[in-house]
Structure formats: C-alpha cells, structure tokens
Amino acid sequence: MKSSLAPTEIQAELLRWVAANPGAEIESRKSNTLWALEQRKLVTRKFSITKQGYQVQTAAVTEQGKYYLKHGRHPEEVEREAQRSARDPETAKDAPTDGAELIRQLKAAGGNITVPDPGVVTRSRWTRAFYHAVNNDLLLPGHKLRLTGRERGDLKLRLLDPAKEPPPPPPVPVVEVPADLAHAHPLITATRKALGRRQTGTADTRGQQGVVPLHVSRPLVDRALRIMQGLVTEAEQRGYTVEARPVEASRRRAEPRSAVVIIVKGHAFPLEICERTAKQPHEPTARELRDAEREPAWMRMRIPKYDHVPDGRLMIDAPGHDQTYGYRQYDCSDGTRWTLESRLGHLLAAIEERAERADEARIRAEQAEHLRKQRWLEALDEAHQRLIRDQRIKALEQQLETRRTANEIRALCAAVRESATGTPVDATIEWLRWAEAHADSIDPVIAGVALPPDPPPSQQNLAPYLGSQNAHAYPWPFPNH
C-alpha cells in the first residue's frame, strides 16, 4: 500500500515537467493530476486570463516538491517515519511476547486490536506473536486469527469466533443455458429474424423494437441469444414478467432505445447484451497529426492514446450503463475466472435485491407522503380554527364599537336637551328622536347578540394562516363556497 503523500508515476512525471518548465502553460486535461500534486503540497497553481479571454493555468514547484525531486520521498513522510522510529522502543513494550499472550489480549479487547502505524520493532513483535499462535495450534477449534498490515500502515488483528459469525448466505441458484435454440422464446425468435443470416461484421439491434438489444460480433450472436434465452426462461419461471419495451438509454441521451425489461414487484429493470472492449495503443493518423500541428494549443483536439476494440467477452447490463437506483449494479460479464453463463444467477439475485430495496423505498416514500398530507390537513384545521377565532374577535370588537357609538349618541341627545333654552323647535325634536331611535337600533344590548356565522374555509381565507404550508399542495378538502 502506497502512502497517500507519495505521487503516482503520472503525477511524478508532471511534477518533473513543471520543474523543468517553470511558468509554462499546462494543458487543461492535466488539471486533475495538477490538483493532486497541489493537495500533496508539491506544487502551487496559478490561474490567469489571456488577451483572448481564455483561462490558462501554470504551476510552480514548492519546497516540498523540490525535496521530493531530490530525494524521491515526501518530506512529511520522512518526518512521520522519524516520529514512528522515536516512539518505537516504547510501543514495543506493549507487544505480546508469544501467541498465548496475544490471544489473551485479543479476548480482553473483545477480539479486535489495532496498533496505529507501528514502528519496525513493534510491528515485528506483533507479527511474531501472531505466527507463534497460528503455528503452535493455540487457537480453540473453529477459531481463526487474522492479521492485516504486516508491512505498513495500521496493524490490525482479529480473533474470529465461529459462533458469533453470521451464517453464510445461501448459494445462488444456477441458471441453465440451453445448448441450442430449438424452443426459443418469442423475443429470441424475433431477434434472430431481425438479424438475418449475415455471418460477418457486427450485430446491433439496440435501435429496433420488440427484439433483444444486443451489440456483439457476428460469431458471438448464437452464444448471446442462448444466454438471453436462459435468463428470460429463468425469470419467467420465477414469476417475473419479461418484455421488450423502449427505455431511456441514459441521462445524456434523449432518444429511446429498446431493452429487454424484467419486471419484479412492479419495478422494471432493462437489460441489453453487448461485447466488451479492450484497450490497444492508438496509432495517430496523418490527419490527426496534421490537425495537431496546425491548431493552437488552447483548441487542439487531444489524440487518443488507446483504441477500444471488441475482445470477445460478453456483458449484460442496463442500457447505456444507466444505474438509476443508487444500489448495487445489476450487471455481469465474462471474466478471467468465470463465464457470463455462470453469473446469470448472480445477475437475477442482484435484480431481486434492487427490487426489494426499491419496494422498501417506495413504501417509505408513500409513508412520508401520507405523513406530509396528514400534517397539511392538520395545518388546515388549525388555520380554520384561527380564522374563526379572529372573525369572532373582530365581530365582538365591532359590537363594542357600536355600543360606544350608541352611548355617545344618547349622550349627545341628552346634552342638547339640557343646553336648550326654552322649547326646542320641531326640527330639533324630530332629529333627537331619530338619533335616539338609531342608537337603540344599533345598540347590541337592545338589538341582541348572536354567534356570528363561521367564515368559509377557502384557500384565499386560510392562506395567511398556513405559514410554511402551501395551500395548493393537495386537492382542497373543503367544499367550494
């Protein structure tokens, strides 16, 4: 395991180039590598704008970078090693002397011991105790001892008790792949018909409807169809629905593509079978070399280092490698130690696991949505009660104001009578009678009081009382008024 401070070969090559070309413009395609060097404090980056308005980046080697170029090691790594060596004699005293003591320490620690980045002496003592316990049969029957970090990093020891270990998962059922296509599925038959009898070139049915989407070399068509025949048959035997339908190939592709869809618990999982590729060194063409010399550096197209050519390995996965659920990918392919046929059971197991997780996520989403709606309805009820309360307070205040107005009218009439000298004229008497009658008509004590009608719970009326809740989030539960 390499230290995180040590640059990779590509990063070290760029570091040497920066040291040899101070102030030179660095291509944008090397930004990630330059960023990694900056994180290791080996260079400092600087951005500037050209006269044409383009942003360019340059770099300068730091003192740590110069030290690395001279000695081949990061100075902080050297400092850590010195600190580790200084505390090594003290930490070595805590190391067990033999396997029996190691096992006692592990049992006392609950079966796990971690020694943080020990020195050479400490690491060797723990390692010797480990091998002494293993080679002298000091473990109880069924128990196992595990050691990681023999050479560098944290040293970890674990004592495994079989009684506490979880049971192994059940074996994955094997999916039988037929030797021929004598009794082919309708999708397989339609695909064979769409491909025709051509024996050379590449078979590509990804843009066609009602067939198995495949993209393989012609000699691999028969094997690819037999694999899909076995997969489709097994899926239907397990009670799943299999059909061909157009699907969205990728977030970056808008056009629909066809896929074989396995529907598990209402969730559709699209699949296609294609041929994997291998990298081969790219030989630049004359046109690529000519364009590279003619165009300026800031708009020069990068010549690819490798070509990707089909290599005969088959792979089944989602169209466009679009893994949308966020869980374990459901793909499998030929490998160095297995064939695609032997992995079909694992593929179906992955699909079933994703369907289970998607179903759980759907249930959680429905429960969360139900809770949000319940809170919304509760907020509506509370808002309606607050609206009724405010309307009643407003009606009560209006009655008090009317009562004060009636009393003021009566006081005015009494004052007019007291201040009058002699007999009032008929017009004055008539006006006072009308005013007193009006005061009696508006006085709630004489006219009587009653509970005012509740205001209708409309969206417009309740919106000011809902706070952060949206009045239009769900269909309005109250009748329209």
Query: For residue 427, is it within any domain?
Result: no
Helix pair angle (75-92, 63-71), 10° resolution = 70
Encoded tokens for 260: 């074989």
pLDDT > 90 in the chain, percent:
59
Average pLDDT over residues 5-18: 92
Q: Read off the pLDDT of residues 402-434 as tens digits, 9 standing for 90 and up.
A: 999 999 999 999 999 888 777 767 888 899 999
Higher pLDDT, 321 or 461: 461
Higher pLDDT, 13 or 245: 13
User: Are residues 99 and 59 both part of a single domain?
Assistant: no
Residue with tokens 């309606």: 384
Chain Cα centroid distance, residue 382: 37
Predicted confidence band of residue 348 (pLDDT cuts 50, 70, 90): very high
Helix pair angle (9-20, 31-39), 10° resolution = 90
Q: Read off the pLDDT of residues 378-403 as tens digits, 9 standing for 90 and up.
A: 999 999 999 999 999 999 999 999 99
Query: For residue 288, is it within any domain?
Result: yes
Query: For residue 428, is it within any domain?
Result: no
User: Are residues 250 and 128 both part of a single domain?
Assistant: no
Query: For residue 50, is it within any domain?
Result: yes
Average pLDDT over residues 260-264: 92
Which backbone phi and psi does 3 adopt, to 5 degrees? Answer: -70, 145
Q: Strands 43-49 and 55-61: what pairing?
A: antiparallel
User: Are residues 303 and 210 both part of a single domain?
Assistant: yes
The pLDDT score that the predictor gives to residue 54 is 79
User: Are residues 301 and 232 both part of a single domain?
Assistant: yes
Query: For residue 52, is it within any domain?
Result: yes
- Of the three residues 143, 160, 177, the one that is the final residue of a domain is 160
Radius of gyration of the chain (CA): 41
Encoded tokens for 313: 């390995």
Encoded tokens for 361: 């996520």
The pLDDT score that the predictor gives to residue 481 is 55
The pLDDT score that the predictor gives to residue 86 is 87
Higher pLDDT, 300 or 150: 150
pLDDT for 259 beyond 60: yes
User: Are residues 229 and 267 both part of a single domain?
Assistant: yes
Residue with tokens 């793909």: 331
Residue 254 DSSP SS3: strand
Sign of CA dihedral 45, 51, 53, 54: negative
- Of the three residues 324, 342, 372, the one that is the final residue of a domain is 324
The pLDDT score that the predictor gives to residue 249 is 53
User: Are residues 142 and 33 both part of a single domain?
Assistant: no
The pLDDT score that the predictor gives to residue 141 is 83
DSSP assigned state of 389: H
Q: Read off the pLDDT of residues 155-196 as tens digits, 9 standing for 90 and up.
A: 999 988 877 777 888 899 999 999 999 999 999 999 999 998
pLDDT for 295 beyond 80: no
Query: Rounded to a whole number, what is the distance in angstroms from the first to the last CA of the chain?
Result: 74
Query: For residue 268, is it within any domain?
Result: yes
Q: Read off the pLDDT of residues 39-73 as tens digits, 9 standing for 90 and up.
A: 999 999 998 887 777 788 999 999 999 999 999 99
User: Are residues 318 and 198 both part of a single domain?
Assistant: yes
Predicted confidence band of residue 297 (pLDDT cuts 50, 70, 90): low
- Of the three residues 324, 353, 386, the one that is the final residue of a domain is 324
Cβ pair 407, 415 in contact under 8 A: no
Count the domains in the chain: 3
Alpha carbon distance 396, 468 (integer Å): 30
Encoded tokens for 317: 């996965």
Alpha carbon distance 228, 317 (integer Å): 12
Cβ pair 96, 102 in contact under 8 A: yes
In b/e form, how buried is each residue of 103-120, taking b as 16+ CB within 10 angstroms? bebbeeeeeebebebbbe
What is the extent of the structural domain holding 49?
9-73
Encoded tokens for 253: 């592709």
Q: Kindly tell me the burial class for residue 404, based on how many C-beta atoms sit within 10 Å of its own C-beta (0-12, 13-18, 19 or more).
A: exposed
Query: For residue 397, is it within any domain?
Result: no
Residue 424 DSSP SS3: coil
User: Are residues 58 and 96 both part of a single domain?
Assistant: no
The pLDDT score that the predictor gives to residue 327 is 43
DSSP assigned state of 4: T
The pLDDT score that the predictor gives to residue 330 is 79
User: Are residues 146 and 195 both part of a single domain?
Assistant: no
The pLDDT score that the predictor gives to residue 250 is 54
Q: What is the CATH number of the domain that holds 21?
A: 1.10.10.10
Encoded tokens for 395: 């009606």
User: Are residues 96 and 30 both part of a single domain?
Assistant: no
pLDDT for 248 beyond 70: no
Complete DSSP assignment for 182-207: TT--HHHHHHHHHHTT--SSEEE-TT
Q: Read off the pLDDT of residues 203-215 as tens digits, 9 standing for 90 and up.
A: 999 888 899 999 9
Q: Which helix (H) or strand (E) holds 14?
A: helix 9-20
Helix pair angle (344-419, 221-237), 10° resolution = 60
For Cα atoms 82, 88, 91, give the angle at the middle one, nearest 5 degrees: 140
Looking at every residue in the chain, the average pLDDT score rounds to 88
Cβ pair 453, 388 in contact under 8 A: no
The pLDDT score that the predictor gives to residue 326 is 44
Q: Residue 72: which of 5, 134, 20, 17 has the closest Cα? A: 5
Which of left, alpha, beta for 142 (phi over 0: left; psi -120 to 50: alpha)? left
The pLDDT score that the predictor gives to residue 164 is 77
User: Are residues 209 and 275 both part of a single domain?
Assistant: yes
User: Are residues 311 and 244 both part of a single domain?
Assistant: yes
User: Considering only 243-252, 282-291, 456-465, which range has the smallest mean pLDDT?
Assistant: 243-252
Q: Read off the pLDDT of residues 81-129 as tens digits, 9 standing for 90 and up.
A: 888 888 888 888 889 989 899 999 998 998 899 998 888 899 999 999 9
Q: Residue 90 is which amino acid? A: E
Predicted confidence band of residue 77 (pLDDT cuts 50, 70, 90): confident
Query: For residue 395, is it within any domain?
Result: no
